């Protein structure tokens, strides 16, 4: 046996790497951004440490092992599936269980009270179609993974060209990740508006009836409703706006999984129906606009974040600027900023000598 030949990881090692991968995808790139030289020197020197470097080194080893010990398609498919399960399906299932098991508590933090409970009277009670919504939503998520896998197979096995996403042992630089995320989310915002408005809500579109008789029959949103739709309508409304930017810009697989984690979390919280969200300035406004679209028969609010609706004049109720202003006032952002400004500009008092 050659002592210099690298040892192939065992089956248990591969299983552990696969389980840990979604966590590493989110945590280590954040540490990478925080530990970049410019940020460490100028902004946050206290966050830079040897432990961060060791975490990044471990992540690089994990990433390289995954790529070298598995086929690129397997890494992409299993990683994508793990991201969707961890950041969308499991949280959505947890919210559904909470709404059913603690309905008296859930109704107090739901924006529309009992109407928004998946197992409430207005949605058919415990024998309603909440389970069908969860099942169809899960099936649509799996459909998206299947389409993504099929695209990769066509690119690599049929057309014999490079893969749709960049898959290599090298890792993208922090700023490259940030730039791809920004332009990916921006293009997703535009695509979601165009496809949602003109393919799913135009009177001459043959797909409009599918969308209106599926998703728009839900009286109030909960997380599984984000991907509950006719399969064709789901592909047009949710999958294509998310996947096409990654395909067009040819994201690195790591960047794509971070991007997909952000999209999954947005879907989970924006459709949750709760009025208590992790980030009021962003998710609060997104959630309200999605609720107005769903409960307003689709007469506006076609984009994900509401930016294109604001530009196009199709916002229902308060637009994205109004939402930001309202959240800023509710959280006393202006007062806090003024208070800090006064503290910064205040001259220290001179001590009198006795």
Per residue, what are the HEC states of the chain? Answer: CCCCCCCCCCHHHHHHHHHHHHHHHHHHHHHHHHCCHHHHHHCCHHHCCHHHHHHHHHHHHHHHHHHHHCCHHHHHHHHHHHHHHHHHHHHHHHHHHHHHHCHHHHHHHECCHHHHCCCCHHHCHHHCCHHHHHHHHHHHHHHHHHHHHHHHHHHHHHCCCCCCCECCCCCCCHHHHHHHHHHHHHHHHHHHHHHHHHHHCCCCCCCHHHHHHHHHHCCCCCHHHHHCCCHHHHHHHHHHHHHHHHHHHCCEHHHHHHHHHHHHHHHHHHCCCECCCCCHHHHHHHHHHHHHHHHCCCCCCCCCCCHHHHHHCCCCCCCHHHHHHHHHHHCCHHHHHHHHHHHHHCCCCCCCCC
pLDDT score at 20 = 60
pLDDT score at 281 = 56
Closest CA to 287 of 310, 304, 270, 275: 270
pLDDT score at 295 = 85
Closest CA to 151 of 80, 222, 86: 80
Note the pTM of the prediction, 2 decimals.
0.80
Q: Which residues pair with 110 in a beta bridge?
A: 274
Structure tokens at 224: 């599984």
Q: What is the pLDDT along the chain (354 residues), one digit of tens a residue?
A: 455 455 556 666 666 656 666 655 555 554 544 443 333 333 344 444 456 666 677 777 878 888 888 888 999 999 999 999 999 999 999 999 999 999 889 999 998 888 888 988 777 777 788 999 999 999 999 999 999 999 999 999 999 999 999 999 888 998 999 999 999 999 999 999 999 999 999 999 999 999 999 999 998 899 999 999 999 999 999 999 999 999 999 999 999 999 999 999 999 999 999 988 775 557 788 888 888 898 888 889 999 989 999 999 999 877 777 766 776 666 665 555 555 555 555 555 554 444
Question: What's phi and psi for 207, nearest 5 deg?
Answer: -95, -10
pLDDT score at 125 = 78
pLDDT score at 87 = 95
Taking the C-alpha atoms of residue 298 and residue 307, their distance in angstroms, rounded to an integer, is 17
Q: What angle do CA 331, 95, 256 make, to 5 degrees?
A: 80
pLDDT score at 8 = 59
pLDDT tens profile 78-91: 999 999 999 999 99
Instruction: Give the distance between the most distant pair of CA atoms in the chain.
Output: 89
């Amino acid at each position: 046996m050659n002592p210099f030949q690298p040892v192939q990881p065992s089956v248990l090692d591969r299983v552990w790497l696969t389980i840990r991968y979604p966590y590493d995808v989110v945590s280590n790139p954040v540490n990478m951004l925080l530990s970049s030289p410019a940020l460490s020197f100028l902004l946050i020197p206290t966050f830079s440490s040897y432990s961060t470097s060791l975490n990044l080194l471990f992540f690089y080893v994990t990433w390289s092992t995954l790529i070298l010990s598995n086929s690129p398609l397997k890494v992409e498919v299993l990683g994508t599936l793990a991201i969707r399960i961890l950041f969308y399906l499991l949280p959505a299932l947890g919210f559904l269980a909470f709404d059913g098991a603690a309905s008296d508590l859930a109704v107090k933090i739901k924006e529309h009270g009992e109407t928004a409970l998946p197992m409430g009277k207005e949605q058919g009670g415990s024998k309603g179609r909440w389970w069908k919504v969860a099942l169809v939503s899960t099936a649509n998520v799996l459909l998206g993974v299947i389409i993504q896998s099929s695209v990769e197979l066509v690119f690599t096995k049929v057309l014999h060209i490079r893969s749709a996403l960049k898959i290599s042992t090298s890792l993208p630089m922090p700023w490259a990740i940030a730039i791809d995320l920004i332009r990916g989310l921006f293009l997703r915002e535009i695509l979601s508006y165009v496809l949602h408005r003109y393919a799913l809500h135009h009177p001459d579109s043959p797909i409009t009836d599918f969308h209106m008789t599926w998703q728009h029959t839900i009286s109030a949103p909960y997380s599984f409703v984000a991907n509950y739709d006719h399969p064709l309508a789901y592909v047009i409304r949710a999958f294509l706006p998310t996947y096409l930017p990654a395909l067009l810009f040819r994201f690195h697989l790591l960047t794509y999984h971070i991007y997909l984690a952000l999209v999954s979390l947005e879907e989970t919280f924006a459709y949750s129906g709760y009025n208590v969200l992790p980030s009021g300035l962003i998710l609060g406004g997104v959630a309200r606009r999605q609720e107005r679209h769903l409960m307003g028969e689709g007469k506006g609010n076609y984009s994900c974040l509401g930016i294109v609706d604001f530009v196009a004049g199709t916002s229902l109720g308060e637009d994205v600027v109004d939402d930001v202003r309202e959240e800023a006032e509710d959280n006393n952002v202006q007062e806090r900023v003024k208070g800090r400004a006064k503290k910064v500009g205040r001259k220290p008092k001179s001590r009198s000598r006795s």
